[in-house]
Structure 1
Amino acid sequence: MSDDHESIFDGLTGGDSAQWAFGTDFEDPLAGVDTTVPDGVGSAELAAYCLMLGDDALVMSQRLTEWCSRAPDLEEDIALANVALDLLGQARLLLARAAAADPGVVPALPEGSPVPPEDALAFFRDAGQFRNVWLAEVENGDFAHVVVRLLLFSTARLALLERLSASADTVLAAVAAKGVKEVAYHRDWAGRWFLTLAQGTEESRRRLDAALGELWPLLAELVTAHPVELALARSGVAVEAAALRADVDAVLNQVLTVSDVPRPALEDRRDDDRPGGGRDGVHTPALADLLADMQSVARAHPAGRW
């Protein structure tokens, strides 16, 4: 080691560790951004809405990271990792926005803990405090499963972000405008693979049909209005999820038609009988298992510096 450097890393960073994951001096993701809550909008409601969208992205990102080294080839392995990183970036901004709107949503941590608010929300809430939809949290299956899940998720999220880019909340509008390009790629990647699997071998088609049958009912939660969304939609801040249904159906019907895959036939069910409940903190056991893995290091060392 050179006498000019106290650590082997100093030669790589020039003494500045801000660009590396082991630093603790990461910038506030909303630094320099006006985080004033729009007039007439409740801080608690805005924070709750940001948690919904942020938790969707965070949990979906975590599920996709579980695919690292498991995809059919290196190119698709990297593609899934990049999708996960895109969603993680969206989650960080949305959770930071939630904390800025209502600091009361941030879990209490030991005094002196260096954990920023968005990390506290990610790593120190229990499953019942998360507001993500079930589609994001269910356990991974095979490659057809991840393709179908991402197609359904990204189709609904892209329709949402396109409208949210006109939000009366400047932070949400900016996050959505950036996310549109990212999620458009996510949807296109999933759509291409959906077609490939549908028109591939008998086995790939069988697996695709099985994944579609399992996951299709969970789409409803992404296009069903929630009271928080309804209240904020009236003030121009949020997008009413039910308003997305027509556009989501149009895109999915096109993918299904081109792929020669019948639209899943589901029995009629009352709204209260449909799978879901994540927006209100009701989750499948899969979320608790996911969080146990994701949060283990942070909870073991809540005052740790990385």
Structure 2
Amino acid sequence: MNALYNYLLKLADDSLIMGQRLSEWCGEGPYLEEDIALVNVALDELGQANNFYQYASRIADNGTTEDDIAFLRYEPDYVNAHWVELPNGDYAQTVLKVYVFAVYQKLLYQALSESADEDLSAIAQKSLKEVKYHYTHASSWMNIFAQGTEESKKRLTNAIENIWEYTKGLFAKVEGESELSALNVVPNADELYQQFISITEKDFQEFGLEYPAKDHFMQPRSRTGYHTEYFGYILCELQYMQRAYPGCTW
């Protein structure tokens, strides 16, 4: 399959698994308005995933639908970052997950809005409107936890210590991505990562949080088909309806 197809899977798989994870909070949020807000973030991610899968199915041009691609692949075929498959944990960890992913997607979609590929640019422009809200919402909660009580700040700092080592995996490349970058179809992931560091450093200073050390260990092997121990459980739940009732559509 061509490089653009691989890249579309990268985008779609991230959003699909992030949306699936966040949907676990449905009915479990700290209060009603926040429950609804977080579920809306999940729905946005699932919608983005569907758009990217639809485009991927057109490129594949082999009779597979977006539902086939989303729900009928095996674990090694998914190229999402490890970040999105990590457990929600407590609400502080969920807020951190949404914040980091929103910074990443905001940078990514801003760059993809200028893509030489018109279809990819159009999807990115639509998605950017959504992730700008995700970033604003998650940043507010990061500040609430950091500036709240001793307990709330402790929970957030514990979350940072527990999972920050997975952040760089968001910027891992898939096969053919460098060639697409050279053609101005997709941005340079290494440059995006440097922008990510600059933004999160500035935000952490405003939140009153200590930023992880520059030499902080980062987990390897995101987007290689190797997953965390949690991914198989997500996939079982995610694919149940499609495998039990073949032909289901979104």
Which of the five TM-score ranges fits, normalised by the shorter chain?
A: over 0.9
Q: Deviations over 1:92-148 (max 9, x none)?
A: 010111111123594xxxxxxxxxx11111111111111100000011200001100
Change (3 A) 1:128 1:240: same
Q: Does 1:147 align with 2:91?
A: no
- Whole-angstrom distance in 2 between the partners of 1:186 and 1:305: 27
Mapped contact 1:195–1:255 kept (Cα < 8 A): no
Question: What 5-or-longer segments of structure 2 have no aligned partner?
Answer: none
Mapped contact 1:133–1:279 kept (Cα < 8 A): yes
- Whole-angstrom distance in 1 between the partners of 2:82 and 2:143: 25
Q: Please give the residue correspondences for 1:238-249 in structure 2 after superposition, counting only pairs within 5 Å.
A: 238-249=186-197
2:56 to 98, 107, 122: 98
Q: Does 1:49 align with 2:1?
A: no
Change (3 A) 1:256 1:241: same
- Whole-angstrom distance in 1 between the partners of 2:109 and 2:63: 24
Mapped contact 2:13–2:80 kept (Cα < 8 A): yes
1:283 to 227, 242, 247: 227
- Whole-angstrom distance in 1 between the partners of 2:26 and 2:41: 11
Partner residue, 2:147? 199
Q: Does 1:177 align with 2:121?
A: no
Equivalent position SS for 1:279: coil
Partner residue, 2:39? 81
- Whole-angstrom distance in 1 between the partners of 2:207 and 2:164: 16
- Whole-angstrom distance in 2 between the partners of 1:228 and 1:251: 27
Q: Does 1:229 align with 2:173?
A: no
Partner residue, 1:71? 29
Equivalent position SS for 1:166: coil
Of stretches 232-241 and 128-137 in structure 1, the one that deviates more from structure 2 is: 232-241
- Whole-angstrom distance in 2 between the partners of 1:253 and 1:86: 26
The percent of aligned pairs where both chains have the same amino acid is 36
Q: Does 1:255 align with 2:231?
A: no
Change (3 A) 1:172 1:149: same
Larger Rg: 1
Amino acid at match of 2:201: N
TM-score, with length taken from structure 1:
0.78
- Whole-angstrom distance in 2 between the partners of 1:305 and 1:140: 27
Q: Deviations over 1:166-202 (max 9, x none)?
A: 1111111000001111001101111000000011111
Amino acid at match of 1:77: D
How many residue pairs end up in the alignment? Answer: 250
- Whole-angstrom distance in 2 between the partners of 1:161 and 1:233: 14
- Whole-angstrom distance in 2 between the partners of 1:47 and 1:294: 22
Amino acid at match of 1:135: W
Partner residue, 1:209? 157
Partner residue, 1:19? none
Partner residue, 1:133? 81
Mapped contact 2:3–2:176 kept (Cα < 8 A): yes
Amino acid at match of 1:155: V
TM-score, with length taken from structure 2:
0.94
- Whole-angstrom distance in 1 between the partners of 2:163 and 2:132: 20
Partner residue, 1:168? 116
- Whole-angstrom distance in 2 between the partners of 1:206 and 1:105: 51
Question: What 5-or-longer segments of structure 1 have no aligned partner?
Answer: 1-42, 107-116
Higher relative contact order (CA 8 A, sep 6+): 2
Mapped contact 1:223–1:243 kept (Cα < 8 A): no
Partner residue, 1:299? 243
Q: Does 1:189 align with 2:147?
A: no
Partner residue, 1:36? none
Equivalent position SS for 1:132: coil
